[in-house]
Amino acid sequence: MSQKRIAILVGSLRKESFNRKIANALKALAPESLSLEIVEIGDMPHYNEDSESNPPPSWTAFRERIKAADGVLFVTPEYNRSIPGVLKNAIDVGSRPYGDSVWNGKPGAVASASPGGIGAFGATHILRQSMVSLNVPMMQQPEAYIGNVAQAFDEQGRLTERTGDFLKKFIDAYAAWVQRLT
């Protein structure tokens, strides 16, 4: 079984982002069958179709990194019952030009984290809806909503055992999902 390359997109740009911490925990917990790499999305200009004749280098680099991946994992907070604008922009950049989407057929999953109690439920479902339209088969179970995310870490910033166990089950299920679809 060959190792599968997985691109992780983190929807928060905050330096001490809980979502980035969750993404890094998933990297550490991943089985050997997966190689996870965070693909940065914060430096890309907003998508504008007029720029397709001479796309910004950050768009081209992003598209190449996603094309090279075997799957994609989203780790995102929720902003106003939706996904952050930076994540939506990355999705749009990757889906264009029309007919040349980098997302097509890549197995996907989403983990969402929020300081609130419902763990970014709205963002997860908005993201799933967008990815279905881009032909990304999204893993349905187990769902990963991490509510009250500050409590997922101890005083030293390490994952609590309970959260670590939960994320391990999630990333193992995703590895099986990727294996089944690739």
Q: What pLDDT does residue 51 have? A: 96
pLDDT tens-digit series, residues 39-55: 999 999 999 999 999 99
- Asked if the 4-181 domain carries CATH number 3.40.50.360, the reply is yes
Q: Which residues contact 144 (CB under 8 A, 6 or more apart)?
A: 109, 110, 111, 112, 166, 167, 170
Burial code (b: 16+ CB inside 10 Å, e: under 16) for 67-104 equals: eebbbbbbbbbbbeebbbebbbbbbebbbbeeeebbbe
Q: What pLDDT does residue 141 have? A: 96
Q: Mean pLDDT over residues 147-169, rounded?
A: 93
End-to-end CA distance of the chain: 11
- Cα–Cα distance for residue pair 149/61, rounded to 1 Å: 32
Is the pLDDT at 119 greater than 80, yes or no?
Answer: no
Cα separation values, 113 from 77, 100, 134, Å: 5, 31, 23
The domain locations on the chain are 4-181
Q: What pLDDT does residue 1 have? A: 64
Q: Mean pLDDT over residues 110-129, rounded?
A: 91
Q: What pLDDT does residue 118 have? A: 81
- Whole-number mean pLDDT of the chain? 95
Q: What pLDDT does residue 44 have? A: 97
Q: Mean pLDDT over residues 19-44, rounded?
A: 97
